[in-house]
Amino acid sequence: MIQRGSTLNSDQLRDMIQDAHLNFLLGAGASMPLFALLGDVENLLTDITAADADEDAIAFAQASAYAHFFAGVIAKNGDLLRRTASAKKLLATYERFIQTLNRLLLRRRSAILNKQVNIFTTNIDIAIEIAAEDLQAELNDGFTGRFSSRFSTSNFGSVVSRRSLQYDNLSEVPTFNLLKLHGSVSWATRRLDGTDVIAFDRRLRLVAKAAEALEEVDSDLPAVDDDTAAEDLLEEGEGHGLDLDKFLTAYRRLAIVNPTKDKFQQTVLNQNYYDLLRLFSNEMEKENTLLFVVGFSCRDEHIKELMVRAARVNPTLQIIIFAYDSRAAAQIAAEFKQQPVTNGNIQILEPPGPAEDGTTVAFDLATITGRFFDPLVPAQSRVAPEILRDGGATSA
């Protein structure tokens, strides 16, 4: 049974966080509005790939869909590097999110649980990495090495502690484990020491090459939206005469999980994808685990099935899904309709209805952080100097 509601008691939420393994699952909605939502592009690309059509028509249809995805999601990462106004707004949202979680971890009363939070995300953008670096937060993104950085799922789970130079005190540092389930625009597959590995592409060179190749053919490709049908693209692509090899080759070099049912272009990415899903599954099966889902439509079959299975076998697991609005809440509930959860440990939270003045609330990442998590750890106020001089005591 999936529960739906619009409220969550702050005291209950505080107790849940204090004593649970803390996890977040962030979807495309968490990075809105800078990054576009995928819409129905997954089904579109799946239909194109499975179509009984000639290779040229399929290449034309795929290039059109890829160009739509590239413009709305991949290319927008350049805004983050250039720090445009819209990018700064998104980075500020993620910084507030990270700062709030950092204070929550610092105030954990349990000495048994590590001061860590796992952030699983299907997003391929680099907003979290930039926000964490701006804050100098301890982010573990799975990479090790400075000159030849390489990714490995074995790098997750490390505990970071710091020792005071003066008093030799040892304290654990809050750590954010970032697990990018669908890869990243900053990933690049390379051959090192005879093995295919995922390296860190800090300058997004592969994205730049794909953008350059797309520019040559973009004006000749049709616009794609939620109403575009695979049959229409395939028909338009018959005998198109365009040279799409350069763009398709550059696009397929990107180390991202493509928005299709089969998803993969590269074996090394396939292997890491399932390793990351295994880590997600393992975390969900731990006792007293808490998963907050933000901006995720629950349409990804692999992840949804893992959530449902874990909810069934682990009654101590609590999954709280924040729906953007009531329509999104109904769509998410429909995704679980044929997969009943007997423990009742999946809850969908949707915004309350319109206020008396007609204003409405949407559960985006900024609103969720401010409404649910900020009140749990109010910022400390400065103690007035006269109170200190008088020997008084205050608490924040």
Using one digit for the tens of pLDDT, what is the confidence trace for 150-191? Answer: 898 888 977 776 666 666 666 778 899 999 999 999 999 888
Whether residue 389 is contained in a domain is answered as no
Whether residue 383 is contained in a domain is answered as no
Q: Which domain holds residue 343?
A: 2-376
Burial class (CB in 10 A: 0-12, 13-18, 19+), 221: buried
Whether residue 386 is contained in a domain is answered as no
Q: What angle do CA 222, 251, 120 make, to 5 degrees?
A: 110
Is residue 148 within 8 A of residue 199, CB to CB? The reply is yes
Q: Give yes or no for residue 323 having a pLDDT over 50.
A: yes
- Residue-wise burial string across 345-367, b where 16 or more C-beta atoms lie within 10 A, e elsewhere: bbbbbbbeeeeeeeeeeebbbbe
Whether residue 381 is contained in a domain is answered as no
Q: What angle do CA 262, 263, 266 make, to 5 degrees?
A: 110
Backbone angles phi, psi at 53, to 5 degrees: -145, 165
Q: How many domains does the chain have?
A: 1
Whether residue 187 is contained in a domain is answered as yes
Mean of per-residue pLDDT scores for the chain? 87
Whether residue 168 is contained in a domain is answered as yes
The C-alpha R_g of the chain, in whole angstroms, comes to 23
Is residue 29 within 8 A of residue 324, CB to CB? The reply is yes
Whether residue 390 is contained in a domain is answered as no
Dist CA 359 CA 363 (whole Å):
14
Binned at pLDDT 50, 70 and 90, residue 220 comes out as very high
Comparing 251 with 106, the larger pLDDT belongs to 251
Long-range CB contacts (within 8 A, 24+) of 309-313 = 309/281, 310/281, 310/284, 310/285, 311/284, 311/341, 311/343, 311/345, 311/346, 312/341, 312/342, 312/343, 313/285
Q: Give yes or no for residue 120 having a pLDDT over 80.
A: yes
Distance between alpha carbon 76 and the CA centroid of its chain, in Å?
Answer: 15
Q: Give yes or no for residue 291 having a pLDDT over 90.
A: yes
